Structures are given as C-alpha cells and as structure tokens.
Amino acid sequence: GAVVSQHPSRVICKSGTSVKIECRSLDFQATTMFWYRQFPKQSLMLMATSNEGSKATYEQGVEKDKFLINHASLTLSTLTVTSAHPEDSSFYICSASGGADQETQYFGPGTRLLVL
C-alpha cells in the first residue's frame, strides 16, 4: 500500500518559535497533499490542500501566514507553524493522494506539537 511518512513525530518548542513539519510520500508521487489538525477526542479538521508547484488552498478560518505550506515536489510537503503559541499545540496529520489511486488519501503518522 501507499506509505506516507511525517517528521518529526513529536516536537516541543517555546512560544514564539517556528516549527517545520515534513510530510513525504515514500512510494508514490503525491499530486495532492492535505494537512489536518486534530484536537483530543475530536475528528480531523482540514487546514489546507496543496498541489505540487502551486499555492495551497486554505480552509476558512485558517491563517495562511500562520501556517505556511510548501509543496515543492511530488513527494514532499511541509507545514511551518510560525511564531507558535500554546493554543497551536495539537496533533497535525498530513495525507497524500496520487499515483495509481487518485481518490484515496493515505495518512502519515502525525506530529504532536506542544508549545510551552
């Protein structure tokens, strides 16, 4: 099956710093990547959709200057949380679709961010 990796798996940072999370499709070319945020005991909330080589499309209410998304290649997308604050602490999950199965999103293992 399609494999998506995410790095780092956990990160603790001080308030005001920026954190970069990488999402890679390991065995297929991901034409589209998605970034989600999940709070404890809640469902996934889509933050943005990114297509390789173009600007990300952000969901309503998601600050694009706060959550910078780059999809520079068909196997890599990055999410940078700029000037992180404690309220940004959450579980961030990426997914990718592409290759032979365009309709299914395959998810990475997620990144737990804790901002002190």
Partner 1 sequence: AQKVTQAQTEISVVEKEDVTLDCVYETRDTTYYLFWYKQPPSGELVFLIRRNSFDEQNEISGRYSWNFQKSTSSFNFTITASQVVDSAVYFCALSERRNTGKLIFGQGTTLQVKP
- Selected from 13, 20, 32, 99, the binder of partner 1 by CB under 8 A is 32
List Cα–Cα distances, 54 to 49, 50, 58, 75, in angstroms: 10, 7, 12, 14
SS3 string, 64-107, reads CCCEEEEEEECCEEEEEECCCCHHHCEEEEEEEEECCEEEEEEE
Check binding of 90 to partner 1 (CB under 8 A). no
Site string for partner 1, 5-24 (x = CB under 8 A): --------------------
Check binding of 43 to partner 1 (CB under 8 A). yes
For binding to partner 1 (CB under 8 A), which residues are involved?
1, 32, 34, 42-44, 46, 49, 57, 91, 93, 95, 97, 102-110, 112
